[in-house]
Structure 1
Amino acid sequence: MNQFSDGIPREIGGLETLVQLSLRHNNLQGTIPDSMRNMVGLEFQDLSHNNISGNIPKSLEKLQNLKYFNFSVNKLYGEIPSGGPFKNLSSQFFIYNEALCGSSRFSVPPCPASSKHRSNRKKLLVLFLFLGIALVVVPSTFIFFWIRYRKGTRVLQQADSLSSVTSERISYYELIQATDLLSESNLIGSGSFGSVYKGVLRSGTAIAVKVFNLQLDAAFKSFDMECEVLRSLRHRNLIKVITSCSNLDFKALVLEYMPNGSLEKYLYSHNYFLDIRQRLSIMIDVASEYVLLDDDMVAHLRDFGFSKLLGEDQGDLYTKTLAILGYIAPEYGLEGLVSTKCDVYSYGVMLLETFTRRKPNEFEGDLSLTQWVSYSLPDAVMDVVDANLVTATGNGLPKEVDVVASIMKVALDCCAESPARRTNMKDVVGMLQKTKIQLLAC
């Protein structure tokens, strides 16, 4: 992404041990030097978005280590080599060029035949190929649909169920390309375990790529097994894990992309606002610390239960992280006890945060968010509620205040010091649903 112009110098072929080279988004002209065939150590090369013309040297087929080579958005023409590393490249790496030709798998027209006889021979071969396919496919299709018709909807449901859990395979280089080399412009979030980047696959599907911090690699010794479990989970409030990508130097989860971003953005940004109904609807959907919103503003959960997936030593790391944020239950921080009651406590803290617009880690000393709210209930609820939240006037004001007070009461019941005294989630949902009905009646 500089303003480099002129041609690529032929001397670049002397860099025989170079592994990665990116010259994308420049004003480079001329041809691809044939001397690049000597760059035998090259694994990653990006020449896209330039004004490079001429042919793609066939000698580049000798670069056996090359896994990623992007020629898109240039002025190249002629035949695309098909041997060596070119066997594994997709059509995406050749789009928007002058007049490339070659194999149909590159989505380019075939190169002109050397003679009319050869062209007619190819047409004849294609004709016989289609006839052979027809003789096989037509009877097979008839038998297939007859069997499905006989077995009815049961077979259809089983097929749909199988397809829903089939994992999609996405390579490391596809993720690198989809996220524009994990550029900061695509960074949408970061945390103690890693960073999340937005990406777009060749199919046009938007994804979120969670790249784990390799310094915590030991904490994910069962990474592949856990990802297999996560991929099989399906729920309207769980972000879909599309696949995982893991090698010695890279570990990532590929997740469905939530276009509306995080709940935090809507709580603390001056450019967004959620009213009481929206916040209550979201919190009814919530069952964990961190929430992302889809197109319909339906809550989706992420990072659930990682403390239970990690080993004892690694779980301590996650515990300390949550303790700093103020979401962790007291018995977990003091004794390391894990139960569903810990999730209830964390939920209660988030419920308080959603309606007070105060983060649990901004209090000093022994004062906590739960204590600060409890000191103000039931008479001074307006002292702790988000000042922009209660908008009613006249007769409507007391009703809205009562609604917020009842929500605060549910949150504090979730945050009881004793796990046995905390409300279970089923009752929490029931009480919040009842509160939502009261709010609609205001």
Structure 2
Amino acid sequence: MNELYWLDLSNNKLTGQIPECVKQISYLDLSNNELEEAAPTGKKHSTALVKVAIPTGKSHSTVVIKVLGAVAVVAVFIVCFLVFGVLWIRNLHNREEFKQTFRKILQKVEHPRIAHEELLAATNRFHNSNLLSTNSFGSVYKGFLADGTRVAVKVLNLMHEQSHKIFRAECKVLQKARHRNLARIITTCSTIHIKALIFEYFSNGSLEKYLYQSSCRMGLRTLLNIAIDVAHAVEYLHYDCFVQIVHCDIKPSNVLLDESMTAHLSDFGISRLMGRITANSVTSTIDLKGSVGYIAPEYGLNGMMSPRGDVFSYGILLLEMLTRRRPTDDMFDGDLSLHSWVKRAFPERVAEVVDTSLLMEGASKETEECLISLMRLGLLCSSDSPEARPTMRDVSSLLKNIQQDFNPDTSSSIKLKPTISNLVCDRGAITICEEASDTQSSTF
């Protein structure tokens, strides 16, 4: 056996004792067997080469492989950690800016509800001195939140059978609708005792105040700007919002004015969400579809609501702004309405129906042309036939043209060319004529 230099008997399930002759082999591997004694540990059998047989032991090569594998895993982990650490440090500033921006977005989109007790404190327990307006749907109060923010609190009348539907409808619209000419909601309060929406406060109140309070007046330039603001708001609802929205209640009391007289459309309690840019109408689930005098004629006939109904309401609003006459005025009875009254005077006798305060900036030819163009547009929008009305996108475009041609600070004897086609009376209906008249009689 002395001539045998290398013997590998590992993994053979050998049992019993190791013979003495076998122990003399220089390099002997008896690992992973069931022998009763260990392999020799003398100088001839280096532990680096000889794997001894231990009943429950593991081979040295297996241990080495596992150790090397563990070291490799740790090394990879350390490298990855260092790489991500460097990237994180490099982008730390940008990450903080992103977090701040994200928080601001969440604050705007997710409105945290306010407690009933906070509303009581903000409005002095809804004291009459803080009452701004009231109707059958509820009341609006001014107040201050704990952080000093001045707000308008709209408290719904829970006795009204549609109050819960109105609250949900308005929340659904205002949660996602974002436009500079829409009233911005700050937060809400909803319990079994109260349903309230908290809006930003508008210091100049509603357009209704400027139309009918003797202490408040506005010139033609301001009126034109407000008309454009409201048109932009309705155009956004019809075309550019997350879903097409029909407001259903466009009137002066729902147009709010901030400190710079910028108009903001409010009150979406009976608005309707529709499929994006569709010509189809939708049946209202709320009995009231608007306010008397501003409701489109087709609503009363078939109960179907559409964007064209908003165009009708906008046309009535525009005529009301120009004449300072409510569509529900006592003078309008029987067949006489605000629309027909203005139509009879248009265009030669518009001075008989226009609000004289609009002439404060001077009765120039430009002023005359602007007034006639606005009345023309108001009549077109409030046509009885939905098909005869322009879209709100068309209305915004026409108003922009009117504004560009209107210069109240310039007195000129030269007649400006009309910016939109003349409207002429044809068989009792307002239609668009392709030819524009070069001259018109002036009654100013």
After TM superposition, the score normalised by the length of structure 1 is 0.62
**Does the 8 Å contact 1:391/1:397 carry over to 2?**
no
Gap runs ≥5 in structure 2 = 1-85, 235-249, 275-281, 411-444
- 1:267 is matched with 211
Matched, 1:388 2:364: no
Matched, 1:431 2:398: yes
- 1:397 is matched with 364
- 1:216 is matched with 160
Highest RCO, 1 vs 2 (Cα 8 Å, sep ≥ 6):
2
- Give the match's secondary structure for 2:189: strand
Alpha-carbon shift at residue 360 of structure 1 (Å): 0.6
1:288-367 matched pairs, under 5 angstroms: 288-289=250-251, 290-304=254-268, 306-308=270-272, 315-316=286-287, 318-319=288-289, 322=291, 324=292, 326-362=293-329, 363-367=332-336
Counterpart Cα distance in 1 of 2:172 and 2:154: 16
- 1:416 is matched with 383
Matched, 1:249 2:198: no
- 1:79 is matched with none
Counterpart Cα distance in 1 of 2:263 and 2:355: 21
Counterpart Cα distance in 1 of 2:153 and 2:373: 39
**Does the 8 Å contact 1:196/1:210 carry over to 2?**
yes
For residues 208-258 of structure 1, what are the alpha-carbon distances to aligned partners after superposition, in whole Å with 9 as ceiling and x for unaligned?
Answer: 111111111444247357525423322101111112212222111111111
Q: Structure 1 360/159 Cα, relative in aligned 2: closer, same or farther at 3 Å?
A: same
**Does the 8 Å contact 1:390/1:401 carry over to 2?**
no
Letter in 1 for 2:191: N
**Does the 8 Å contact 2:283/2:304 carry over to 1?**
no
**Does the 8 Å contact 2:345/2:352 carry over to 1?**
yes
User: Which of 157, 168, 174 is 2:118 aligned to?
Assistant: 174
Q: Structure 1 285/313 Cα, relative in aligned 2: closer, same or farther at 3 Å?
A: closer
Counterpart Cα distance in 2 of 1:222 and 1:334: 23
- Give the match's secondary structure for 1:227: helix
Alpha-carbon shift at residue 151 of structure 1 (Å): 5.2
Counterpart Cα distance in 2 of 1:219 and 1:239: 20
| Count of residue pairs the alignment pairs up | 295
Alpha-carbon shift at residue 298 of structure 1 (Å): 0.9
Matched, 1:234 2:178: yes
Identity of aligned residues (%): 42
Alpha-carbon shift at residue 410 of structure 1 (Å): 0.6
- Give the match's secondary structure for 1:242: strand
Matched, 1:370 2:301: no
- 1:131 is matched with none
- 1:121 is matched with none
Counterpart Cα distance in 2 of 1:392 and 1:313: 43
Letter in 2 for 1:234: R
Alpha-carbon shift at residue 335 of structure 1 (Å): 1.1
User: Which of 171, 183, 195 is 2:139 aligned to?
Assistant: 195
Letter in 1 for 2:185: V
- Give the match's secondary structure for 2:311: helix
Q: CA RMSD in A?
A: 2.7
Counterpart Cα distance in 2 of 1:405 and 1:197: 38
1:48-87 matched pairs, under 5 angstroms: none
Counterpart Cα distance in 2 of 1:353 and 1:411: 9
Alpha-carbon shift at residue 177 of structure 1 (Å): 1.1
**Does the 8 Å contact 2:136/2:160 carry over to 1?**
no
**Does the 8 Å contact 1:293/1:300 carry over to 2?**
yes
- Give the match's secondary structure for 1:236: coil
Alpha-carbon shift at residue 159 of structure 1 (Å): 4.4
Q: Structure 1 228/430 Cα, relative in aligned 2: closer, same or farther at 3 Å?
A: closer
Answer with 266-275 or 212-221: which moved more: 212-221
**Does the 8 Å contact 1:381/1:401 carry over to 2?**
no
For residues 16-55 of structure 1, what are the alpha-carbon distances to aligned partners after superposition, in whole Å with 9 as ceiling and x for unaligned?
Answer: xxxxxxxxxxxxxxxxxxxxxxxxxxxxxxxxxxxxxxxx
In terms of fraction of residues, the more helix-rich structure is: 1
Counterpart Cα distance in 2 of 1:145 and 1:294: 45
- Give the match's secondary structure for 1:202: coil
Letter in 2 for 1:382: A
- 1:379 is matched with 348
Letter in 2 for 1:410: L
Alpha-carbon shift at residue 391 of structure 1 (Å): 3.6
1:57-136 matched pairs, under 5 angstroms: none
- Give the match's secondary structure for 1:199: strand
Alpha-carbon shift at residue 390 of structure 1 (Å): 1.7
Counterpart Cα distance in 1 of 2:191 and 2:367: 53
- 1:101 is matched with none
After TM superposition, the score normalised by the length of structure 2 is 0.61
Answer with 149-158 or 243-252: which moved more: 149-158
